[in-house]
Amino acid sequence: FWGLGWHQCRYGYTGLADWKGVHDNYIKNNLPLDTLWTDIDYMDKYYDFTLDPTKWGPQSDFIGFVNQMKQEGRQYIPILDAGVARQDYFGYNVGTEMDVWVKRFKGSNDPFVGKVWPGLATFVDWFHPNATDYWVDMLTKTEQTVGFSGLWLDMNEPSNFCNGECGGVYPDAGPKIPTPYTPGMQDLEFKNIAMAAAHYGDDLHIEYNTHGLYGYMESQATNKYFTSVKNERPMIISRSTYPGHGAYAGHWLGDNASNWGDLKLSISGILDFQMFGVPLVGADICGFMGNTTPELCSRWMALGSFYPFSRNHNTIGTISQEPYALGPTVLEVSQKYLRVRYSLIHYIYYQFVQAHREVLPVWR
Protein backbone atom coordinates (compact mmCIF):
# COMPACT_ATOMS: atom_id res chain seq x y z
CA PHE A 1 0.00 0.00 0.00
CA TRP A 2 2.85 2.37 0.82
CA GLY A 3 4.08 1.92 -2.76
CA LEU A 4 1.19 4.10 -3.89
CA GLY A 5 2.45 6.97 -1.73
CA TRP A 6 5.09 9.58 -2.51
CA HIS A 7 8.70 8.59 -3.34
CA GLN A 8 11.88 10.68 -3.31
CA CYS A 9 15.21 9.84 -4.98
CA ARG A 10 18.20 11.36 -6.71
CA TYR A 11 21.52 10.26 -8.12
CA GLY A 12 24.00 12.39 -6.23
CA TYR A 13 23.16 12.32 -2.54
CA THR A 14 26.55 12.82 -0.92
CA GLY A 15 26.12 10.39 1.96
CA LEU A 16 24.07 9.46 4.98
CA ALA A 17 23.95 12.98 6.46
CA ASP A 18 22.70 14.43 3.15
CA TRP A 19 20.10 11.65 2.82
CA LYS A 20 18.92 12.15 6.40
CA GLY A 21 18.60 15.85 5.63
CA VAL A 22 16.11 15.07 2.86
CA HIS A 23 14.02 13.07 5.32
CA ASP A 24 14.19 15.87 7.89
CA ASN A 25 13.30 18.59 5.37
CA TYR A 26 10.21 16.68 4.26
CA ILE A 27 9.03 16.62 7.87
CA LYS A 28 10.02 20.24 8.49
CA ASN A 29 8.08 21.41 5.42
CA ASN A 30 4.99 19.35 6.22
CA LEU A 31 5.30 17.21 3.11
CA PRO A 32 4.15 13.58 2.95
CA LEU A 33 6.83 10.97 2.24
CA ASP A 34 6.44 7.22 2.11
CA THR A 35 9.75 6.11 0.61
CA LEU A 36 13.34 7.30 0.25
CA TRP A 37 15.45 5.74 -2.52
CA THR A 38 19.13 5.55 -3.37
CA ASP A 39 20.68 5.38 -6.84
CA ILE A 40 23.91 3.53 -7.67
CA ASP A 41 26.08 5.77 -5.49
CA TYR A 42 25.12 3.86 -2.34
CA MET A 43 27.12 0.86 -3.61
CA ASP A 44 30.78 0.18 -2.88
CA LYS A 45 32.52 0.82 -6.24
CA TYR A 46 29.14 0.21 -7.94
CA TYR A 47 29.26 -3.48 -6.99
CA ASP A 48 25.75 -4.91 -6.64
CA PHE A 49 24.65 -6.10 -3.17
CA THR A 50 27.13 -3.82 -1.30
CA LEU A 51 27.18 -0.54 0.66
CA ASP A 52 29.92 2.11 0.32
CA PRO A 53 31.30 2.53 3.87
CA THR A 54 33.31 5.63 2.92
CA LYS A 55 30.36 7.68 1.71
CA TRP A 56 27.56 6.22 3.82
CA GLY A 57 29.44 5.49 7.04
CA PRO A 58 29.30 2.30 9.11
CA GLN A 59 26.67 -0.21 7.98
CA SER A 60 25.14 -0.09 11.46
CA ASP A 61 24.47 3.66 11.09
CA PHE A 62 22.90 3.20 7.67
CA ILE A 63 20.60 0.35 8.61
CA GLY A 64 19.83 2.10 11.90
CA PHE A 65 18.43 5.06 10.00
CA VAL A 66 16.49 2.76 7.66
CA ASN A 67 14.97 1.06 10.70
CA GLN A 68 14.11 4.46 12.16
CA MET A 69 12.21 5.29 8.97
CA LYS A 70 10.35 1.99 9.13
CA GLN A 71 9.29 2.76 12.71
CA GLU A 72 7.91 6.06 11.37
CA GLY A 73 5.99 4.18 8.67
CA ARG A 74 8.45 5.10 5.91
CA GLN A 75 10.35 2.72 3.63
CA TYR A 76 13.61 2.43 1.69
CA ILE A 77 14.24 1.21 -1.88
CA PRO A 78 17.75 0.81 -3.38
CA ILE A 79 18.75 0.23 -6.99
CA LEU A 80 20.33 -2.97 -8.36
CA ASP A 81 21.91 -3.16 -11.82
CA ALA A 82 21.89 -6.21 -14.08
CA GLY A 83 25.67 -6.32 -14.58
CA VAL A 84 27.54 -8.00 -11.69
CA ALA A 85 31.13 -6.76 -11.33
CA ARG A 86 33.69 -9.25 -12.65
CA GLN A 87 35.76 -8.87 -9.51
CA ASP A 88 36.88 -11.01 -6.60
CA TYR A 89 33.87 -10.48 -4.35
CA PHE A 90 30.93 -12.59 -3.20
CA GLY A 91 28.48 -11.45 -5.88
CA TYR A 92 30.73 -12.65 -8.69
CA ASN A 93 32.34 -15.58 -6.90
CA VAL A 94 29.07 -17.21 -5.82
CA GLY A 95 27.60 -16.71 -9.29
CA THR A 96 30.63 -18.37 -10.84
CA GLU A 97 30.40 -21.32 -8.43
CA MET A 98 26.71 -21.74 -9.30
CA ASP A 99 27.46 -21.32 -13.04
CA VAL A 100 24.67 -18.78 -13.53
CA TRP A 101 26.28 -16.37 -16.02
CA VAL A 102 25.21 -15.84 -19.63
CA LYS A 103 27.89 -17.53 -21.78
CA ARG A 104 29.79 -16.12 -24.75
CA PHE A 105 28.15 -18.42 -27.32
CA LYS A 106 26.65 -21.88 -27.58
CA GLY A 107 29.22 -24.49 -26.64
CA SER A 108 31.34 -22.07 -24.61
CA ASN A 109 31.78 -22.34 -20.84
CA ASP A 110 33.18 -18.81 -20.58
CA PRO A 111 30.93 -16.06 -19.23
CA PHE A 112 29.96 -13.27 -21.59
CA VAL A 113 31.71 -10.13 -20.37
CA GLY A 114 30.29 -6.66 -20.90
CA LYS A 115 30.92 -3.38 -19.16
CA VAL A 116 28.68 -1.24 -16.95
CA TRP A 117 29.19 1.11 -13.98
CA PRO A 118 31.66 -1.09 -12.01
CA GLY A 119 33.70 -1.89 -15.13
CA LEU A 120 33.78 -5.37 -16.63
CA ALA A 121 30.67 -7.31 -15.68
CA THR A 122 28.81 -10.58 -16.14
CA PHE A 123 25.07 -11.11 -16.42
CA VAL A 124 22.75 -13.61 -14.72
CA ASP A 125 21.24 -16.17 -17.10
CA TRP A 126 17.64 -16.28 -15.88
CA PHE A 127 17.00 -19.48 -17.84
CA HIS A 128 19.55 -21.34 -15.71
CA PRO A 129 17.98 -23.57 -13.01
CA ASN A 130 20.31 -22.05 -10.38
CA ALA A 131 19.58 -18.42 -11.28
CA THR A 132 16.67 -17.78 -8.91
CA ASP A 133 18.48 -19.47 -6.00
CA TYR A 134 21.51 -17.27 -6.67
CA TRP A 135 19.35 -14.16 -6.84
CA VAL A 136 17.48 -14.99 -3.63
CA ASP A 137 20.84 -15.49 -1.88
CA MET A 138 22.15 -12.14 -3.12
CA LEU A 139 18.95 -10.29 -2.17
CA THR A 140 19.06 -11.85 1.29
CA LYS A 141 22.63 -10.56 1.72
CA THR A 142 21.61 -7.13 0.42
CA GLU A 143 18.68 -6.87 2.80
CA GLN A 144 20.91 -7.82 5.72
CA THR A 145 23.25 -5.01 4.66
CA VAL A 146 20.82 -2.17 3.91
CA GLY A 147 17.38 -3.27 5.10
CA PHE A 148 15.30 -2.53 1.98
CA SER A 149 11.50 -2.74 1.67
CA GLY A 150 11.36 -2.82 -2.15
CA LEU A 151 13.74 -2.94 -5.10
CA TRP A 152 14.55 -0.92 -8.21
CA LEU A 153 15.92 -2.99 -11.13
CA ASP A 154 17.88 -0.92 -13.63
CA MET A 155 20.08 -1.46 -16.71
CA ASN A 156 18.24 -4.74 -17.23
CA GLU A 157 17.60 -4.80 -20.96
CA PRO A 158 20.46 -5.72 -20.27
CA SER A 159 22.43 -2.58 -21.01
CA ASN A 160 26.13 -2.66 -21.87
CA PHE A 161 28.72 0.10 -22.32
CA CYS A 162 30.44 -2.02 -25.00
CA ASN A 163 28.90 -2.92 -28.34
CA GLY A 164 28.55 -6.64 -27.81
CA GLU A 165 31.48 -8.38 -26.16
CA CYS A 166 34.15 -6.11 -24.69
CA GLY A 167 37.51 -6.49 -26.37
CA GLY A 168 40.65 -7.60 -24.58
CA VAL A 169 38.95 -10.07 -22.23
CA TYR A 170 39.40 -13.18 -24.35
CA PRO A 171 42.10 -13.82 -26.99
CA ASP A 172 39.55 -14.37 -29.77
CA ALA A 173 36.43 -12.47 -30.76
CA GLY A 174 33.10 -14.20 -30.27
CA PRO A 175 30.88 -15.08 -33.26
CA LYS A 176 28.53 -12.55 -34.79
CA ILE A 177 24.97 -13.28 -35.86
CA PRO A 178 24.12 -11.63 -39.19
CA THR A 179 21.22 -9.21 -38.88
CA PRO A 180 20.11 -8.15 -42.36
CA TYR A 181 17.24 -6.09 -40.95
CA THR A 182 18.10 -3.65 -38.16
CA PRO A 183 15.27 -1.38 -36.94
CA GLY A 184 16.35 2.23 -36.95
CA MET A 185 19.47 1.33 -38.94
CA GLN A 186 21.18 0.60 -35.62
CA ASP A 187 23.39 -2.44 -35.02
CA LEU A 188 21.49 -4.71 -32.62
CA GLU A 189 24.64 -5.03 -30.50
CA PHE A 190 24.94 -1.26 -29.97
CA LYS A 191 25.22 -0.83 -26.18
CA ASN A 192 23.85 -4.33 -25.85
CA ILE A 193 25.18 -7.79 -25.09
CA ALA A 194 26.14 -9.92 -28.07
CA MET A 195 23.31 -11.47 -30.05
CA ALA A 196 25.17 -14.82 -29.99
CA ALA A 197 25.47 -14.79 -26.19
CA ALA A 198 24.12 -18.11 -24.93
CA HIS A 199 21.47 -18.88 -22.33
CA TYR A 200 20.80 -22.21 -20.68
CA GLY A 201 18.72 -24.46 -22.93
CA ASP A 202 18.67 -25.56 -26.54
CA ASP A 203 20.24 -23.80 -29.52
CA LEU A 204 17.38 -21.31 -29.73
CA HIS A 205 18.26 -19.94 -26.30
CA ILE A 206 20.53 -17.16 -27.45
CA GLU A 207 20.29 -13.44 -26.82
CA TYR A 208 18.99 -12.79 -30.34
CA ASN A 209 15.83 -14.75 -29.49
CA THR A 210 15.44 -13.92 -25.80
CA HIS A 211 16.57 -10.31 -25.37
CA GLY A 212 13.13 -8.92 -24.54
CA LEU A 213 12.67 -11.39 -21.68
CA TYR A 214 15.67 -10.38 -19.57
CA GLY A 215 14.06 -7.73 -17.36
CA TYR A 216 10.81 -9.70 -17.25
CA MET A 217 12.54 -12.79 -15.88
CA GLU A 218 14.65 -10.77 -13.46
CA SER A 219 11.44 -9.23 -12.13
CA GLN A 220 9.89 -12.69 -11.76
CA ALA A 221 12.88 -13.85 -9.68
CA THR A 222 12.76 -10.69 -7.56
CA ASN A 223 9.02 -11.09 -7.07
CA LYS A 224 9.60 -14.64 -5.85
CA TYR A 225 12.04 -13.35 -3.22
CA PHE A 226 9.38 -11.07 -1.75
CA THR A 227 6.45 -13.48 -2.00
CA SER A 228 8.14 -16.79 -1.15
CA VAL A 229 11.03 -15.81 1.13
CA LYS A 230 9.74 -12.69 2.87
CA ASN A 231 6.03 -13.52 2.52
CA GLU A 232 5.36 -9.92 1.52
CA ARG A 233 3.60 -8.19 -1.35
CA PRO A 234 6.40 -6.90 -3.57
CA MET A 235 7.19 -3.31 -4.50
CA ILE A 236 9.48 -3.62 -7.53
CA ILE A 237 10.18 -1.04 -10.24
CA SER A 238 11.99 -2.20 -13.38
CA ARG A 239 13.35 -0.34 -16.39
CA SER A 240 13.01 -3.24 -18.82
CA THR A 241 9.57 -4.77 -19.24
CA TYR A 242 7.51 -7.14 -21.37
CA PRO A 243 3.75 -7.41 -21.99
CA GLY A 244 2.16 -8.68 -18.79
CA HIS A 245 5.15 -7.56 -16.71
CA GLY A 246 2.74 -5.85 -14.31
CA ALA A 247 1.90 -9.20 -12.72
CA TYR A 248 5.38 -9.10 -11.16
CA ALA A 249 6.62 -5.50 -11.06
CA GLY A 250 6.02 -1.89 -12.02
CA HIS A 251 7.94 0.41 -14.33
CA TRP A 252 9.22 3.93 -14.67
CA LEU A 253 9.65 5.54 -18.06
CA GLY A 254 13.44 5.84 -17.87
CA ASP A 255 15.83 8.78 -18.01
CA ASN A 256 13.73 11.72 -19.14
CA ALA A 257 14.75 15.37 -19.29
CA SER A 258 13.62 18.44 -17.40
CA ASN A 259 11.60 20.00 -20.19
CA TRP A 260 7.99 20.57 -21.17
CA GLY A 261 8.11 18.04 -23.98
CA ASP A 262 8.99 15.19 -21.64
CA LEU A 263 6.31 16.27 -19.19
CA LYS A 264 3.80 15.95 -22.03
CA LEU A 265 5.20 12.62 -23.23
CA SER A 266 4.84 11.14 -19.75
CA ILE A 267 1.05 11.17 -20.18
CA SER A 268 1.04 9.04 -23.33
CA GLY A 269 3.80 6.83 -21.90
CA ILE A 270 1.76 5.98 -18.81
CA LEU A 271 -1.35 5.34 -20.91
CA ASP A 272 0.64 3.07 -23.24
CA PHE A 273 1.83 0.92 -20.36
CA GLN A 274 -1.73 0.45 -19.14
CA MET A 275 -2.34 -1.36 -22.44
CA PHE A 276 0.87 -3.36 -22.07
CA GLY A 277 -0.33 -4.84 -18.78
CA VAL A 278 1.87 -2.68 -16.51
CA PRO A 279 -0.48 -0.47 -14.47
CA LEU A 280 2.08 0.66 -11.84
CA VAL A 281 4.05 3.15 -13.91
CA GLY A 282 5.32 6.71 -13.64
CA ALA A 283 7.92 9.17 -14.91
CA ASP A 284 10.71 11.00 -13.08
CA ILE A 285 8.78 14.00 -11.78
CA CYS A 286 10.39 17.38 -12.54
CA GLY A 287 12.74 15.56 -14.94
CA PHE A 288 15.91 13.48 -14.53
CA MET A 289 18.47 15.13 -16.84
CA GLY A 290 19.21 18.83 -16.77
CA ASN A 291 18.09 21.51 -14.36
CA THR A 292 14.40 21.93 -13.78
CA THR A 293 12.75 25.32 -13.12
CA PRO A 294 10.21 26.34 -10.46
CA GLU A 295 7.52 26.75 -13.14
CA LEU A 296 8.19 23.36 -14.74
CA CYS A 297 8.52 21.56 -11.42
CA SER A 298 5.32 23.10 -10.06
CA ARG A 299 3.35 21.91 -13.08
CA TRP A 300 5.03 18.50 -13.00
CA MET A 301 4.33 18.05 -9.28
CA ALA A 302 0.66 18.81 -9.93
CA LEU A 303 0.53 16.25 -12.77
CA GLY A 304 2.83 13.66 -11.20
CA SER A 305 0.80 13.55 -8.01
CA PHE A 306 -1.72 11.58 -10.06
CA TYR A 307 0.69 9.15 -11.73
CA PRO A 308 0.05 5.55 -10.65
CA PHE A 309 3.69 5.53 -9.42
CA SER A 310 4.82 8.96 -8.14
CA ARG A 311 8.52 9.70 -7.63
CA ASN A 312 10.70 12.80 -7.83
CA HIS A 313 14.13 11.84 -9.20
CA ASN A 314 17.03 13.63 -10.87
CA THR A 315 20.65 13.04 -11.77
CA ILE A 316 24.01 13.97 -10.34
CA GLY A 317 25.35 17.43 -11.16
CA THR A 318 21.91 19.05 -11.38
CA ILE A 319 20.22 21.35 -8.89
CA SER A 320 18.23 19.89 -6.02
CA GLN A 321 14.59 19.49 -6.97
CA GLU A 322 12.97 18.10 -3.85
CA PRO A 323 9.63 19.89 -3.42
CA TYR A 324 11.03 22.13 -0.67
CA ALA A 325 14.21 23.08 -2.60
CA LEU A 326 12.86 25.36 -5.34
CA GLY A 327 11.09 28.10 -3.44
CA PRO A 328 7.64 28.81 -1.98
CA THR A 329 5.57 28.24 -5.14
CA VAL A 330 6.83 24.69 -5.72
CA LEU A 331 6.46 23.93 -2.01
CA GLU A 332 2.87 25.22 -1.89
CA VAL A 333 1.86 23.35 -5.05
CA SER A 334 3.50 20.16 -3.77
CA GLN A 335 1.82 20.36 -0.38
CA LYS A 336 -1.55 20.85 -2.04
CA TYR A 337 -1.41 18.16 -4.71
CA LEU A 338 0.37 15.51 -2.68
CA ARG A 339 -2.39 15.83 -0.12
CA VAL A 340 -4.95 15.45 -2.87
CA ARG A 341 -3.19 12.21 -3.85
CA TYR A 342 -3.26 10.92 -0.30
CA SER A 343 -6.93 11.84 0.05
CA LEU A 344 -7.57 9.55 -2.96
CA ILE A 345 -5.19 6.77 -1.92
CA HIS A 346 -7.92 4.22 -1.19
CA TYR A 347 -9.57 5.02 -4.53
CA ILE A 348 -6.20 4.58 -6.29
CA TYR A 349 -5.72 1.27 -4.51
CA TYR A 350 -9.15 0.13 -5.65
CA GLN A 351 -8.20 0.89 -9.24
CA PHE A 352 -5.32 -1.59 -8.86
CA VAL A 353 -7.76 -4.13 -7.44
CA GLN A 354 -9.85 -3.65 -10.58
CA ALA A 355 -6.74 -3.95 -12.75
CA HIS A 356 -6.05 -7.30 -11.11
CA ARG A 357 -9.62 -8.62 -11.19
CA GLU A 358 -11.03 -7.13 -14.37
CA VAL A 359 -7.87 -6.24 -16.38
CA LEU A 360 -8.89 -2.59 -16.36
CA PRO A 361 -6.27 0.16 -16.73
CA VAL A 362 -5.57 2.25 -13.64
CA TRP A 363 -5.07 5.38 -15.76
CA ARG A 364 -7.82 5.85 -18.35
H-helix or E-strand spanning residue 83: strand 83-85
Angstrom distance (rounded) from CA 111 to CA 45: 21
Angstrom distance (rounded) from CA 225 to CA 233: 10
Angstrom distance (rounded) from CA 85 to CA 233: 29
Q: What is the DSSP secondary structure assignment for residue 81, as one 8-state letter?
A: E
Angstrom distance (rounded) from CA 144 to CA 139: 8
Residue 155 sits at φ, ψ, to 5 deg, of 55, 30
Other beta carbons within 10 angstroms of residue 57's beta carbon come to 16
40 Rama class: left (phi>0) / alpha (psi -120 to 50) / beta: alpha
CA 220 from chain centre, in angstroms, equals 14
Sign of CA pseudo-dihedral 189, 194, 200, 202: positive
**Catalytic residue positions?**
154, 157, 255
C-alpha count within 13 angstroms, C-beta hemisphere, residue 290: 13
Burial class of residue 145 (count of CB atoms within 10 Å of its CB; 0-12, 13-18, 19+)? middle
Contact 286, 325 (CB under 8 A): no
